[in-house]
Amino acid sequence: MPDATELELIAQELRADPGLGQDAVLGTLHFRDRGTIEVAPAHIRPALAKLRGRGYSFLSSVHGVDYHPHEPRLGVHYEMLDMSAVDRLTVKARVPTEAPHLPSVTPDWPTANHQEREVYDMFGVVFDGHPDLRRILMPEDYEGHPQRRDFPVGGEPVLFTFNDSQ
Amino acid sequence: MEVRREPLGAEVDPRALRIRQTTSRKLLRGADIEGPNPGAHLEEGKLEGEELERYVHERVLTTTLDKAVAWARSNSFFPATFGLACCAIEMMSIVAARVDVARFGFEAFRASPRQADLLVLSGRVSIKMAPIVRRIYDQMLEPKWTISMGACCSSMGVFNNYALVPSDKFMPIDVHVPGCPPRPEALMHGVLKLRKMVQEDPDMSWRERYDAIGTEERAPAFESGRSAAGPPTFDAGSNGGEAPSGA
Amino acid sequence: MTETPTQASPDTPAKSTYRQMEESITLAPIEEQIADWGGGHETQELLTLNMGPHHPATHGVLRLLVTLQGEVVRDIKPIIGYVHTGIEKTAEDKAYWKVIPVLERMDYLSYYFNAMAYCTAVEDLAQVEVPKRAQYLRVIHLELNRIMSHLVWLGTSALDLGAISMFWYCFREREQILDLFEMSSGQRMHTRYFQVGGVIEDIPAGFAAKLKAFVDVMPSRADQYNALLHGNEIVLQRLRGTCQLDAESLLQLGVTGPLLRAAGNPWDLRKAAPYSSYEDFDFKIPVGTVGDNYDRFAVRLAEIYESVKIISQALDGLPDGPHITTDRKIALPPRHELATSMEALIHHFKLVTEGMRVPPGEVYSAIEAPRGELGCFVRSDGSSKPARVHMRDPSFVNLQALSSMAEGSYIADLIATLAMLDPVLGGIDR
């Protein structure tokens, strides 16, 4: 886990990169010995490429979080792992529900294929450039994005004898 | 059905009684235990049409040939290999050596539903899977039975949410086995109960043993046209008690 | 992917959108590729076979759309979601310790690992110290679960390959392990034994003796499996040299666990980033050379021996102490305290009704499950229910490697590869 100073150095490097620019990194957070870098959604692909150059060559996980009621609501986390230094780094990108578009990192990181489909299925984040963006866990014709916070948990009332409507 | 109050020993053969207590309970409830179909009058309202016929057909003893056929069928279930989730691992355990289902003759798990007659729904049925389960059930040939194994398919189980469907909603189930996951012994108990059912000797278990057939809860109002007289009230003290409605 | 609905002609009914979507999965790129391979002048067609969700060899409800050219697999499209249970959504609705039974049922062969990943994440968030005895007990149960998962894998894989009697041998050992689980927690599967801060109960008297007996007998049993399978010509022919994939492609695809180790990369989180006292134990990491099916098979079989070593070391060195953290805001106080201490009563009440409160934050914590890296992401907003729980399941990510592995091989090799991949659909679909 990079310590706080190294996290800032990484953020500085990202900002200094000509492909990214000063506004690419929106913030850093060092919490419980783990570092998180928040990146602007449009710059996610070059940011991950730069981190790969820095040694974080394994993308462990791509998952979504719904930050309701804080805007921008939908966040996508990219968990990076540096295997030689055993270092983990989280890269975050947040998009609003009105324009939930993120460039897909699948061309660079094939592991993100199914994982981005899952984020699309569960949260509705559209990944531009994904080779096959379809629902993966829910039926193809399902409406709604279940893991958003305002989607009801659902379920059936348990059938007892008194409410046996069958 | 009316309550018949008879003094002990008048027309009732004492040798037919197991214990005094059962006699008085029988008299109080007036259930026609000696008849061929002890529970039928109560189950009528629950099943309709083809399911009712199937229920009656499975329970009414007709001829010796039928009894022989039922005996053969019950001792040679061919379960379909249909494991969905965690309960499937416990279903595999009953095939394994400790709780050996081959003792009873059920070890021939067929992969094709057309060759199987027992569908053990083991695991949670998600909405994506439900039509497929139904299709597999439809592909099975009569006579076929289903066991809903585990809490997730019987009711919603641990997960009462948008993604699951209780199996009662889309297919008829014969035996529900509770548990999460049920122990292999529990599943075996469920299978053996099904076996008894198929042998046209439905084991109502404790209700039969204690002659308490008339004590099931019933929903207040049926659509089947029976009088909605409310749930039967059982007053242990008074003899005359409210008669449970229905024939 | 969206198409306009086709007009209903007098003979054919209008297609539902669902049908259109299903049929819109096009094989055009594959057909182009076939043309490149020179399949144009041959009269061989591509056959798309649906190895449907109900199939004896798919290890659960996995649907594979296999495109075949003769008997050679050209493309595989896995379709999942048939046992999707909405576990992560359900977990948002429950207090922190009530999430544990829900999450356990995710990857249903490695239930202790699911609970462990979640508990380590919450312990990180809440900054709870797990006592040493609890760590050792956790390691014992985790390694027992690893052996059990590998045994089920071995039994069912051998069943797929045709070596049917292996199934009974593996399940014989599995029953012994489940007896141990039942002894320590009362349940065979999904035991809810791991809690935030430690384990729910200390091991009963007699557990240590039974565990020692098991540990003494297990290596000889594993030798039996070796004797039955390793020298078997059919198993060797089916597994050696088939469906190989090198470590670099596996890393690109995010594959971890025995699959990666079979390809030669000794990445194991128990050694690389030790958690829960794994650094106290001396064990090796089995690593393969080529990365074909045989290596995957051999690596898992060797891991059983290593797990037995870890368990015996943990059992010998089991320290005394509490079995769960003494922080009363996280763990229930022991029942005898409820009669004497007012604070214990209040803590008990608050924990049972509301649940523990965890400071706000986000944590991703990963452990080494039998199938690879099992990560748990927990986001807490300060209340007594988690705001987001996500499990990074190893099988979900490993499944993406299936098409790369099995391309160009026969259907029988596809079945063997699927068996060696060890997918557990509960984890894939969550």
List pLDDT tens digits, range C189-233: 998 899 998 998 898 989 999 999 999 999 999 999 988 888 888
What's C339's DSSP letter? T
Question: What is the rounded CA–CA span in Å between residue B143 and residue C262?
Answer: 48
Instruction: Judge: C60–B88 Cβ closer than 8 Å, yes or no.
Output: yes
**What are the chain A neighbours of C75 within 8 Å (beta carbons)?**
none
List pLDDT tens digits, range A114-142: 999 999 999 989 999 888 888 888 888 88
pLDDT at C39: 54
A22-36, A87-101, A141-155, C15-29, range with the lowest pLDDT: C15-29
Most confident option among A48-57, B64-73, C310-319: C310-319
Whether pLDDT at B221 is above 70: no
pLDDT at B32: 47
pLDDT at C305: 94
Asked if residues B84 and C60 have their Cβ atoms less than 8 Å apart, the reply is yes
Which residues are registered as beta bridge partners of C367? C374
Whole-model pTM: value is 0.80
Judge whether A66 is closer than 8 Å to chain C, CB to CB. Answer: yes
Asked if residues C362 and C112 have their Cβ atoms less than 8 Å apart, the reply is no
For residue C264, what are the contacts with CB-CB under 8 A and spacing of at least 6? C247, C287, C288, C289, C290, C291
SS3 of B87-100: HHHHHHHHHCCCCC
For residue A74, count other CB atoms closer than 10 A to its CB. Answer: 24
The chains in contact with chain B, meaning 3 or more Cβ pairs closer than 8 Å, are: A, C
For residue C273, the one-letter residue type is A
pLDDT at C316: 92
Asked if residues A123 and C409 have their Cβ atoms less than 8 Å apart, the reply is no
Q: Out of A151, A158, A161, whose CB is closest to B219?
A: A161
Higher pLDDT pick, B233 / A50: A50
Judge whether C53 is closer than 8 Å to chain B, CB to CB. Answer: yes
Average pLDDT, chain C: 87
Tokens 């007012």 belong to residue: C342
**What are the chain C neighbours of A135 within 8 Å (beta carbons)?**
81
Q: Is the peptide bond before A152 cis (omega within 30 degrees of 0)?
A: no
Question: What is the rounded CA–CA span in Å between residue A131 and residue A146?
Answer: 23
Number of helices and strands (H, E) in chain B? 9, 4
Question: What is the rounded CA–CA span in Å between residue C154 and residue C159?
Answer: 8
For residue C179, count other CB atoms closer than 10 A to its CB. Answer: 13
pLDDT at A140: 84
pLDDT at B214: 64
pLDDT at C363: 92
Question: What is the rounded CA–CA span in Å between residue A126 and residue A116?
Answer: 9
Judge whether C82 is closer than 8 Å to chain B, CB to CB. Answer: yes
Q: Out of A154, A158, A164, whose CB is closest to B162?
A: A154
Distance in Å, alpha carbon of C184 to nearest chain A alpha carbon: 32
Q: Could you give phi then psi for residue B194, rounded to 5 degrees? A: -65, -40
Inter-axis angle of helices C207-229 and C293-316, nearest 10? 160
For residue C275, what are the contacts with CB-CB under 8 A and spacing of at least 6? C120, C269, C367
Q: Could you give phi then psi for residue A74, rounded to 5 degrees? A: -100, 125
Which of B128, B162, B164 should one mutate to test binding to chain C, selecting the residue with the greatest count of C CBs within 10 A? B128
Please, which pLDDT band fits residue C6 given cuts at 50, 70 and 90?
very low
Question: What is the rounded CA–CA span in Å between residue B147 and residue B154?
Answer: 9
Nearest in space to C429 (alpha carbons), one of B123, B12, B99? B123
pLDDT at B235: 38
pLDDT at C324: 87
Distance, C-alpha B56 to centroid of its chain? 12
Nearest in space to B89 (alpha carbons), one of C342, C430, C291, C175? C175
Most confident option among B65-74, B149-158, C253-262: C253-262
User: Mean pLDDT over residues C237-249, rounded?
Assistant: 88
The SS3 assignment for A89 reads: strand
Tokens 């539903």 belong to residue: B113
Which of C82, C145, C157, C422 should one mutate to test binding to chain B, selecting the residue with the greatest count of B CBs within 10 A? C82
Judge whether A96 is closer than 8 Å to chain C, CB to CB. Answer: no
List pLDDT tens digits, range C76-96: 999 998 999 889 988 888 899
Question: What is the rounded CA–CA span in Å between residue C367 and residue C308?
Answer: 19
pLDDT at C377: 93
Higher pLDDT pick, B214 / C75: C75
**What are the chain A neighbours of B156 within 8 Å (beta carbons)?**
155-156, 158
List pLDDT tens digits, range B232-243: 434 333 333 333
The chains in contact with chain C, meaning 3 or more Cβ pairs closer than 8 Å, are: A, B
List pLDDT tens digits, range B176-204: 898 888 999 999 988 888 888 888 665 54
Asked if residues A61 and A116 have their Cβ atoms less than 8 Å apart, the reply is no
Supply A39's token pair: 């990146």
pLDDT at B143: 80
Please, which pLDDT band fits residue A13 given cuts at 50, 70 and 90?
confident
The SS3 assignment for C366 reads: strand
Question: What is the rounded CA–CA span in Å between residue B170 and residue B154?
Answer: 12
What residues of chain C, 134 to 163, have a C-beta less than 8 Å from chain B? 152, 155-156
Question: What is the rounded CA–CA span in Å between residue C235 and residue C274?
Answer: 35
User: Mean pLDDT over residues B18-44, rounded?
Assistant: 46
Whether pLDDT at B37 is above 70: no
Asked if residues B25 and B212 have their Cβ atoms less than 8 Å apart, the reply is yes
**What are the chain B neighbours of A166 within 8 Å (beta carbons)?**
168
Asked if residues B89 and C107 have their Cβ atoms less than 8 Å apart, the reply is no
For residue A17, count other CB atoms closer than 10 A to its CB. Answer: 17
Distance in Å, alpha carbon of B149 to nearest chain C alpha carbon: 15
Please, which pLDDT band fits residue A8 given cuts at 50, 70 and 90?
confident
Radius of gyration (C-alpha) of chain A in whole angstroms: 19
Task: Please give the order of strands across the beta sheet that includes C46-51.
Answer: C46-51, C63-69, C72-79
Nearest in space to B89 (alpha carbons), one of A44, C189, C199, A149? C189
For residue A69, what are the contacts with CB-CB under 8 A and spacing of at least 6? none
What is the percent of chain C where pLDDT is above 70? 93
Q: Could you give phi then psi for residue B167, rounded to 5 degrees? A: -70, -20
For residue C141, the one-letter residue type is H
- Cα dist. C189→A140, B90, B179, C59, C194 in Å? 33, 9, 11, 18, 13
Supply B146's token pair: 């289903």
Whether pLDDT at B10 is above 50: yes
User: Mean pLDDT over residues B31-48, rounded?
Assistant: 48
List pLDDT tens digits, range C18-47: 777 777 777 777 777 766 666 554 556 788
**What are the chain A neighbours of B218 within 8 Å (beta carbons)?**
161
Please, which pLDDT band fits residue B168 given cuts at 50, 70 and 90?
confident
For residue C386, count other CB atoms closer than 10 A to its CB. Answer: 24
Q: Are strands C63-69 and C46-51 parallel, antiparallel or unpaired?
A: antiparallel
Nearest in space to C149 (alpha carbons), one of C383, C404, C368, C397? C368
Tokens 């730069």 belong to residue: A50
Question: What is the rounded CA–CA span in Å between residue C345 and residue B142?
Answer: 59
Tokens 């207040």 belong to residue: B220
Please, which pLDDT band fits residue B157 given cuts at 50, 70 and 90?
confident
The SS3 assignment for C152 reads: helix
Question: What is the rounded CA–CA span in Å between residue A166 and residue C281?
Answer: 58
Q: Out of B155, B162, B217, whose CB is closest to A161?
A: B217
Supply A85's token pair: 């230094």
Whether pLDDT at C405 is above 80: yes
The chains in contact with chain A, meaning 3 or more Cβ pairs closer than 8 Å, are: B, C
Nearest in space to C291 (alpha carbons), one of C254, C269, C266, C272? C266
Supply C56's token pair: 């004896």
Nearest in space to C375 (alpha carbons), one of C384, C366, C383? C366
The SS3 assignment for A60 reads: strand
User: Mean pLDDT over residues C100-109, rounded?
Assistant: 91
Count how many Cα atoms sit within 13 Å of the Cα of residue A138 in the half-sphere of its side chain.
Answer: 22
List pLDDT tens digits, range A62-93: 999 998 888 788 999 999 998 888 888 899 99
Q: Are strands C63-69 and C72-79 parallel, antiparallel or unpaired?
A: antiparallel
For residue B7, count other CB atoms closer than 10 A to its CB. Answer: 8
Nearest in space to B70 (alpha carbons), one of B204, B200, B203? B200
Distance in Å, alpha carbon of C136 to nearest chain B alpha carbon: 27
List pLDDT tens digits, range B132-148: 998 898 888 878 888 99
List pLDDT tens digits, range C356-386: 888 999 999 999 999 999 999 999 988 889 9
pLDDT at B241: 35
For residue C108, the one-letter residue type is Y
For residue A11, count other CB atoms closer than 10 A to its CB. Answer: 19
Asked if residues C160 and C57 have their Cβ atoms less than 8 Å apart, the reply is yes
**What are the chain B neighbours of A118 within 8 Å (beta carbons)?**
none
